[in-house]
Amino acid sequence: MNHIEGEFEGVNDTMLYYQAWLPENDPKALIIGVHGFASHSGRLINVVNALIPLDFGFYANDHRGHGKSGGKRNFVKDMDEYVEDERNFYEVVKKKHSNLPIFMLGHSMGLAITFYFAQKYSRDLKGIIVSGPGTKYGGDKVPKIKKKLGKGMSKVAPKFSASTGLDPNLISRDPEVVKAYINDPLVHYKKTTIRQASSMFESFENLPDIIGDIKCPILVQKGLADEIITGYDELKSSLNPNDVTFREYEGLYHEIYNELNKDREKVLGDLSDWLVNHL
């Protein structure tokens, strides 16, 4: 396996870090990984390790304000900044591998970015994979009044910092994964800016209005014990049934690719099989 690191220019002149993992053989296709809130590209390594032996290449960048990329921590003007950053990244990847099909895989906040990207640019993707979908980011624990007040405040004090209230124990049932998450210096999960939070809440709530327009094949993977993103049934009913595959996992938490070994193998096996069948 070959590992590559680099930078590219996102929108508004922000420099963004990326890394890539390529098989020793010529890759048969590429996956662009889109990580979640407060996370970074390196936390998708279990997906990388599952797909490299199948001769898939994997590219992923750290979002602005995340990981090793530039920008204020956990701040974005609006979700479209993330989408257009990914568009710039797509062009970087496509320039390097002009003859290969490209899939996009989004987890958590990254799944929203992936859905919005696919709504605009379906023609450029072989398919998308979304992990942990729903319409309520933060689950059912964030009161509507708090979201409404946050939206108003984001307009007057967008960079104001507040606690996320995120419980790391809800990401996975694997205590080692939780421990690594808490101690990871590139993970900033305790606080976020008001604008970031408001943008995420709104983008998830609006997903049912846009996902029916997506034309490429979709794989949906969801841990049914996920408390971080809820509203799964509403999202599921909004998807166009043409070439949508649902894989649901009883008892699994939010980060299904970082769950306990036996369960993770099942999830990654389903992902691998779907990719092979959609080449």
As beta bridge partners, residue 31 has 58, 103
| Catalytic residue of the set 108, 131, 172, 203 | 108
Q: Are 202 and 229 in contact (CB under 8 A)?
A: no
- Of 110, 122, 116, 72, nearest to 255 by C-alpha is 110
Q: Are 171 and 179 in contact (CB under 8 A)?
A: no
Q: Is 3 a catalytic residue?
A: no
| Catalytic residue of the set 62, 85, 226, 263 | 226
Tell me the two tokens of residue 215: 């034309």
Q: Is 108 a catalytic residue?
A: yes
| Catalytic residue of the set 35, 40, 63, 254 | 254
Q: Are 221 and 129 in contact (CB under 8 A)?
A: yes
Q: Is 226 a catalytic residue?
A: yes
Residue numbers annotated as active site: 108, 226, 254
